[in-house]
Structure formats: structure tokens, C-alpha cells
């Protein structure tokens, strides 16, 4: 089977995943995209340039995995350590050819206008990056002032704050453009969830005419995995390890090359929903209480929500949705009997358990090879893991351990 997905759908899916980092406020990237596009339209840009600004907005925070970092850059107008996520984001985008054009502006989306001028930045790039900075700060102010209320009520205060930064943080011409564009009530009302969904659907309906190849999808999934794995030092190599293990088990179970590659992609993507789990829960150095456990347990359902509408990813979405289901229906979130699930979903589950057991976690050291094999054999003996899959982890122990620790050999972003 050949996976085919339109790049436009992939960008929207990636943006959905990134917006999860806002936890309770999940529209930051999209609102920034809508505002940048509206300003671009007002400036008379061509439709493809407006769409480029929209994409920039949707993906500008691709370097943010941590809910704490997200909180800092939203609540502080001039966050002193903001450049790190710009550099990470630009490196991630540059690593994927179809999105590489977005990297330069993302790298400079917290750079003050005066510095862009000093550094003699290319005028077109300086314009894009500074517009992105401006509307990003508008949303930061709107989120802080309006909390869950309407930004419209705070429009005069937000417009005044932006005006005060003309000639320092922002290009005075861009400030004028923003003030003209945001003079209407409609500009602010469009940022509410319902109209924003419509706006995005309109953009979504334009296909880019670029169908991603299997190699592109592997690369894009790798980007997702880096974002998720960067969230916590304890899961730094988890997704890549699960991907390699899933591919290894698929090969041992006799699945064909296409299924092996699909499972590898599923492994890279399976924990995307964890982006919505607050850092302090993932990094807690002790047992989680019931409430914290409920929050963590939402993640496989969130992954499913993100991937299920992506054309070509229907099977991958199902397998990732089920990676915490267990035999007898004792897992989550659907409480399905895992022994009745397709082999691919069961492989992903076993790969996930094995990788997690050999990795250090905040509350315990990772198991060594012999301990991990004993652990898995015990699960199989209790009917909680498929004996035939566990047998591969035991008979090819070195290979399984090398796959589980594949992340150690990964180049940093």
C-alpha cells in the first residue's frame, strides 16, 4: 500500500499537534496564522503569499514542546530566552524540504525590528519575520488579557501596546498595517473558535498539488517525534526507539516492507497527544495520583484525534489510538480487548512497553536487557502480552535493545 497525503493536510495536522502544547488554550498557532494572513491580504499580497503567511503562523512555534516554555513566551511580552525555540523550530523546518522555506522567518520571529535593520536582513524576510513577531505578540496579549473571554473587549488596549513598540520591536509600517487591519470588529471576532474553524477549512480545501512520498512522510513523522521526544528529558529517545522496535517486530512477524514502514511511522507518531500533558506531570519524580493518571491517559486519544482525519493515515491512526489497549479490555481509552486488535496494533503496544521499560524514567532506572526480557516474559505468562512477539524480543535480544536505544544515535536538532 502506498501512503499518499496532501502537504496542505499535513501542515494543518502538524499545526493541530503543536497547538496542543497550549493545554487549555489550543489555538495559538492558528490565530497567529489567521492574523498574519489578514494583514497580508490588506497589504495586497498575492493569494499564494497570503497562504505562505498563514503557514508561517500555524507552524511558527514548532520549536516549542514544553508547556512551561509555551506559558513563558505567551505571558511575557519580551521573554529573554525566546530565541531557543526559534532556533530549534528553524532547524526542524529546514530538515524537511517542503517546509524549508518557512525556516528563515521562524528563526527571526522574536528578533526586534531594530536588530533586523542592524543586521541588514533581506527586506522581504525582515517583513515576514517581523509581521510574525507582531501578530504573535498580539495573540500573547489577547490570551493574557482576555483569558477565556473575547479578545474584542481588549482590542483598544492591545492596539495601544503594539503602537508603543513601533520603531523598536516592530517596523513602523507594519504597525500601521496592523492598526488598519485590526480596526474592524470582524478582525477580532474571526479569532473566536467557530469562525476560525471556517477560515481554516477554506484554506484546507486548497490542495497544494504536492503529494508527499513515503520518504517525505517518514521525514515528517521524524519531525513530530523530535517535538514529542524533546518534551521531557526522560522520553528523549522514546518515539524513535518505539519506531525502530515496531519495524523490527514487524519484520520478525513476517509483515511486508510496506507494513514495516507504516509501523515505523506509527511508532514515530504514537505519543503526539502527549504534547497536551503538562510538563510537571510527565516529569513528576514519583507515582502519579489518580487525577494525574487520567490526564496522561488522554494522550492516545489525542493522538487519534490528530491523525484520524489525515487522508492515507487511517490505519496508522487506528494503531496509535490503540497502543495502550490491553488484553481483556483493561487498557485505555476505548477498553478494547487488545488480543482482538490487528497484529500491527499489538506490535506497536509491545514496542511501546519494551522501550519504556529500558528507558530511565523520573521514578525508576531503565531495565537492562535480561531484566527487560524477564519482565516481558512475565507479561506473556500472565496473558498480558503476545508470547510470539515476546519470543522475538528474547531470541534477538541484542537487536531489540539496539532498536530500543536508536535515539541515542540520533543527531541533535
Q: Which stretch binds Fe ion (CB under 5 A): 56-64, 162-170, 208-216, 226-234?
A: 56-64
- The answer to whether 180 and 172 have CB atoms below 8 angstroms apart is no
Helix, strand or coil, per DSSP, at residue 385: coil
Our CB check for Fe ion shows the closer of 258 and 408 to be 408
Q: Which stretch binds Fe ion (CB under 5 A): 44-52, 61-69, 179-187, 249-257?
A: 61-69
* Separation in Å, CA 89 to CA 147, 170, 267, 401: 26, 21, 22, 30
- How many residues appear in the chain? 413
Residue 299 Cβ vs Fe ion, minimum distance, rounded to whole Å: 6
d(CA 391, CA 125): 55
- Encoded one letter per residue, x for contact with Fe ion by CB under 5 A and - for no contact, window 63-102 reads ----------------------------------------
Q: Which of 401, 403, 390 is nearest to 246 (CA)?
A: 403
71's CB contacts (< 8 A; 6+ apart) are none
Neighbours of 138 (CB within 10 A): 25
- Encoded one letter per residue, x for contact with Fe ion by CB under 5 A and - for no contact, window 98-137 reads --------------------------------------x-
Our CB check for Fe ion shows the closer of 80 and 209 to be 80
Residue 313 Cβ vs Fe ion, minimum distance, rounded to whole Å: 17
Q: Of 331-370, which residues contact Fe ion (CB under 5 A)?
A: 352
- Say how many residues touch Fe ion, by CB under 5 A: 4
Our CB check for Fe ion shows the closer of 72 and 211 to be 72
d(CA 62, CA 94): 12
- The answer to whether 303 and 242 have CB atoms below 8 angstroms apart is no
Residue 255 Cβ vs Fe ion, minimum distance, rounded to whole Å: 20
* Separation in Å, CA 405 to CA 92, 173, 241, 372, 402: 21, 51, 6, 13, 5
Among 61, 222, 302, 325, binds Fe ion (CB under 5 A): 61
Our CB check for Fe ion shows the closer of 240 and 343 to be 240
d(CA 367, CA 361): 10
Residue 203 Cβ vs Fe ion, minimum distance, rounded to whole Å: 19
Q: Which three cell numbers stand for residue 365?
A: 532506572
Residue 101 Cβ vs Fe ion, minimum distance, rounded to whole Å: 19
- Encoded one letter per residue, x for contact with Fe ion by CB under 5 A and - for no contact, window 187-226 reads ----------------------------------------
Residue 120 Cβ vs Fe ion, minimum distance, rounded to whole Å: 25
Residue 252 Cβ vs Fe ion, minimum distance, rounded to whole Å: 20
Our CB check for Fe ion shows the closer of 212 and 241 to be 241
d(CA 68, CA 129): 24
- The answer to whether 289 and 77 have CB atoms below 8 angstroms apart is no
- The answer to whether 1 and 258 have CB atoms below 8 angstroms apart is yes
- Encoded one letter per residue, x for contact with Fe ion by CB under 5 A and - for no contact, window 262-291 reads ---------x--------------------
Helix, strand or coil, per DSSP, at residue 211: strand
Chain residues in the site for Fe ion (CB under 5 A): 61, 136, 271, 352
Amino acid at each position: 500500500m502506498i501512503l499518499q497525503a496532501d502537504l496542505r493536510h499535513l501542515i494543518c495536522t502538524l499545526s493541530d499537534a503543536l497547538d496542543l502544547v497550549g493545554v487549555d488554550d489550543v489555538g495559538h498557532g492558528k490565530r497567529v496564522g489567521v492574523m498574519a494572513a489578514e494583514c497580508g491580504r490588506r497589504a495586497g499580497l498575492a493569494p499564494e503569499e497570503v497562504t505562505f503567511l498563514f503557514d508561517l503562523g500555524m507552524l511558527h512555534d514548532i520549536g516549542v514542546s514544553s508547556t512551561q516554555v509555551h506559558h513563558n513566551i505567551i505571558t511575557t511580552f519580551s521573554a529573554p530566552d525566546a530565541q531557543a525555540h526559534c532556533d530549534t523550530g528553524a532547524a526542524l523546518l529546514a530538515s524537511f524540504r517542503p517546509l524549508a522555506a518557512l525556516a528563515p522567518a521562524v528563526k527571526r520571529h522574536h528578533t526586534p525590528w531594530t536588530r533586523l535593520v542592524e543586521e541588514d536582513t533581506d527586506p522581504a524576510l525582515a517583513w515576514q519575520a517581523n509581521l510574525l513577531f507582531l501578530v504573535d505578540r498580539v495573540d500573547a496579549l489577547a490570551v493574557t488579557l482576555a483569558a477565556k473571554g473575547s479578545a474584542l473587549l481588549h482590542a483598544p488596549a492591545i492596539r495601544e501596546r503594539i503602537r508603543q513598540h513601533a520603531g523598536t520591536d516592530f517596523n513602523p509600517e507594519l504597525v500601521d498595517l496592523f492598526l488598519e487591519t485590526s480596526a474592524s470588529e470582524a478582525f477580532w471576532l474571526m479569532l473566536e473558535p467557530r469562525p476560525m474553524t471556517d477560515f481554516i477549512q477554506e484554506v484546507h480545501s486548497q490542495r497544494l498539488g504536492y503529494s508527499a512520498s513515503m520518504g517525505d512522510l517518514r521525514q515528517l513523522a521524524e519531525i513530530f517525534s523530535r517535538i514529542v521526544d524533546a518534551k521531557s528529558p526522560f522520553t528523549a529517545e522514546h518515539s524513535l526507539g518505539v519506531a525502530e522496535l515496531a519495524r523490527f517486530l514487524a519484520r520478525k512477524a513476517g509483515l511486508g516492507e510496506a507494513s514495516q514502514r507504516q509501523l515505523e511511522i506509527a511508532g514515530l507518531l504514537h505519543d503526539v497527544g502527549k504534547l497536551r500533558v503538562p510538563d510537571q506531570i510527565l516529569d513528576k519524580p514519583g507515582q502519579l495520583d489518580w487525577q494525574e493518571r487520567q490526564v496522561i491517559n488522554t494522550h492516545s486519544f489525542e493522538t487519534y484525534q490528530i491523525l484520524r482525519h489525515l487522508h492515507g493515515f487511517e490505519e496508522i491512526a487506528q494503531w496509535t489510538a490503540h497502543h495502550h489497549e490491553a488484553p481483556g479490555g483493561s487498557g485505555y481509552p476505548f477498553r478494547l480487548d487488545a488480543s482482538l486488535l490487528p497484529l500491527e496494533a499489538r506490535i506497536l503496544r509491545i514496542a511501546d512497553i519494551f522501550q519504556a521499560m529500558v528507558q530511565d524514567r523520573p521514578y525508576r532506572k531503565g531495565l537492562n536487557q535480561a531484566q527487560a526480557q524477564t519482565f516481558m516474559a512475565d507479561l506473556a505468562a500472565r496473558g498480558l502480552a503476545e508470547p510470539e512477539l515476546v519470543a522475538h524480543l528474547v531470541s534477538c535480544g541484542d537487536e531489540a535493545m539496539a532498536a530500543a536505544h536508536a535515539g541515542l544515535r540520533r543527531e541533535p536538532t
